[in-house]
Amino acid sequence: MADLKLTDVGKTYGGTVNVLKDINLDISKGELIVFVGPSGCGKSTLLRMIAGLEKISDGTLEIDGTVVNDVPPAQRGIAMVFQSYALYPHMTVRDNMTFALKLAKKPQAEIDAAVEKAARILQLEPYLDRLPKALSGGQRQRVAIGRSIVRDPKVYLFDEPLSNLDAALRVATRIEIAQLKESMPDSTMIYVTHDQVEAMTLATRIVVLANKGIAQVGSPLELYERPENEFVAQFIGSPAMNLLPGEIVGTGAQTTVKMATGLTAVSAVPTTDADMGLQVNVGVRPEDFVATDGDGIYQGKVDFTEALGEVTILYFEAEDGKDPVLAKMAGIHPSLRGTNVTVTAAPEKVQLFSNGQSLYYR
């Protein structure tokens, strides 16, 4: 398995349309890296550049210390799993999995051993002699993954492999991919998805792409608990983090913020005297809000409630042109609709942003 290094990598179409720039990323052997970001941010383009299916316009890509910018895809030691499965419909599962090995003229004994190992890992042994049309969507995706495993590549690339599955199959196949990674701890995997749950549950580290570059790289919990900027704060997590305007009126190990509504927030993000009077956005995730009868960070009339069984999402009345403030509370609370509710949050759950950037990382 392999280490990857991307240095100042960029992609330009037609010499004028720049879609990615200054991508710097080190991927260590054994990591499962997930690329996430909004539609059109370049996730799949970056993956295809690593695979060799798109030419790198700027910078270098190294695999195990060797620059591979001009190395053909077949010689990079990379296997790619597409969202469309790309199976040969007239071939059995076994033949689909062995096709590339036969083209490479591998010994039959080696082919058989590789297929048996992959089929055992992916629980495909009962289906080896079936055609793809006789399989479910989840089973077909496992065959596509198995076709990659038998090649024993340096790097596995997954391009939104679960997007064509229904909700139940996505959950089951996501668990299978997680178990696959556990069974192959030294394998290096890069996974593209728009699904936050997939990213949070599968990734060693998440790479958030935005504005033609990398917005933040970190473990799932780092991105969730300590986003570097407002974009990541609102992109990671569902519902998105609330951002409320305020002014710093107290500094030190804890920071006091006077909210635009006149209420007060206390954050565990430290500040200095130079920050006094700084205009900030106070970030609180909906699930970190708790109702209080005393002083709070926010107070408003509940305009709508969504009872989801284990939790209820409260939508507060929105000001003109602004997104509503949301709070997620345990239990079922339909009776709160139309009432005034005050919410607060523990200081360690309160983030502070200035000019879009987190004060925590200064």
Residue-averaged pLDDT of the chain: 93
Over the stretch 100-123, which tens digit does the pLDDT of each residue have? Answer: 899 889 999 999 999 998 898 888
The confidence score (pLDDT) of residue 108 equals: 93
Reading the block at residue 153, the tokens are 């590549």
> How many angstroms separate the most distant Cα atoms in the chain?
76
Is-same-fold flag (4-234; 238-361)?
A: no
- Residue boundaries of the structural domains of the chain: 4-234, 238-361
Architecture of domain 238-361: Beta Barrel (2.40)
CA pair distance 150, 112, nearest whole angstrom: 10
pLDDT of residue 320: 79
pLDDT for position 258: 97
CA distance 320 to 211: 27
What is the pTM for the complete model shown?
0.90
Does residue 27 carry a pLDDT above 80? yes
User: Which of 209, 191, 189 lies closest to 200, judged by CA?
Assistant: 191
- CATH topology for 4-234? Rossmann fold (3.40.50)
Of the pLDDT bands very low, low, confident and very high (cuts 50, 70, 90), residue 201 is: very high
Per mean pLDDT, which range of 150-154, 281-285, 297-301 is the poorest? 150-154
CB 178 within 8 A of CB 202: yes
CA-angle at 340, arms to 281 and 337, nearest 5°? 105
- Tell me: pLDDT of 321 over 80: no
